[in-house]
Amino acid sequence: MENSNDTTIINFILLGLFNHTQMHLFLFAMVLMIFIISLMGNALMIILIHMDPRLHTPMYFLLSQLSLMDMMLVSTIVPKMAVNYLMDTRSISPTGCGAQIFLFLTLGGGECFLLAAMSYDRYVAICHPLRYPILMNQRLCLLMTAGSWLLGGADGLMQAGATLSFPYCHSRKINHFFCEAPSLVRLACADTSIFEFFMYICCILMLLIPLALILVSYSLILAAVLHMQSVAAQKKAFTTCSSHLAVVGLFFGTLMFIYMRPKSYRSVNHDKVVSAFYTIFTPVLNPVIYSVRNKEVKEALKRWMEKYFI
């Protein structure tokens, strides 16, 4: 960023989520603890899937990618927030700000498409079990995973580059706890209406298209499950799918609440709280949801603990 007189780099100021009060110190400690648990939980999920041959299936490979994205997402936000709070500094460089925007959008967008891929995997497993090895082969699994990363990366690169191309000649105080494109664009001293329309289109593409695919997959799954004769088979299908639906509901619900609402209904403080939920709390919930509701993961964890700790 350049000011009007010279080429000095001027940092942005993140107003943050916490103040230096006793209550906020307690909340900050809670966030830090949740961050550590999130890293440990998702890392454990990746290790279990990698180490246990019984989990070497497309479903668990996609789940390991989800855990990796969650680890990276929470690591993009919390460490910088923690450093700023502990050192009583709120600044972030334009480069750091651009990196946060890019990584956040890459991981958030990638996770949307990855959840859609996971719903397709469940559709094939339940509706076409005999053809599952053919329809969900390793090549398709890798293509869907790579596509999720690439689509998220393309969105992140375009939005980060466009956001930082605007002149910021007045306030550089970002009313958020991390660099988010909409919060940063509000500070630009230029007409951003075209870019804001572009961001809205990106939201539709990155949120509604994967969500539509997920809803179609689960509509077909529900129809198939209701026609099953075996109660045990119905219960197993519902148990498997309920974990994924819980994650989908949490992730897409919070994202759509922030990015798809009309401007007249938006509140910066509400957005910060909801952003904290899906950037900090959702990543720690995912491994808990999948491990508690999944018998195979619990058995793999038991075998792993017996092998290395008992």
- CATH no. for residue 287? 1.20.1070.10
In a domain, 7, yes or no: no
Phi–psi pair at 169, nearest 5 degrees? -105, 0
pLDDT at 255: 82
249 CB neighbour count, 10 Å cutoff? 10
Which residues, including other chains, have CB under 8 Å from residue 26's CB and lie 6 or more apart? none
Task: State the total domains in the chain.
Answer: 1
Place of tokens 């923690």: 82
pTM above 0.85, yes or no: yes
> Which of the 8 DSSP states describes residue 177?
S
In terms of residue numbers, what domain contains 72? Answer: 12-308
- Give the pair of three-digit tokens for residue 279: 């950037």
- Does 3 map to a domain? no
Q: What is the pLDDT of residue 310?
A: 63
pLDDT score, position 151: 95
Q: Confirm whether 77 is domain-assigned.
A: yes
Domain contains 150: yes
In a domain, 2, yes or no: no
pLDDT at residue 20 in the model: 77
Q: Has residue 6 been placed in a domain?
A: no
> What is the pLDDT, as a whole number, of residue 64?
94
Cα angle, residue 254 at apex, residues 146 and 163 outer, rounded to 5° = 65
* Per-10-residue mean pLDDT, the chain, length 310: 46 86 88 93 92 90 94 94 88 93 95 94 91 92 96 94 88 88 88 88 89 93 84 75 81 81 68 81 82 76 76
Distance CA 277, CA 285 (A): 10
In a domain, 289, yes or no: yes
SS3 content of the chain, % helix, strand, coil (to 5): 80, 0, 20
For residue 194, what is the enclosing H or E element? helix 193-203
Alpha helices in 52-137 (DSSP H): 58-86, 94-127, 132-135
Residue 4 lies in a domain: no
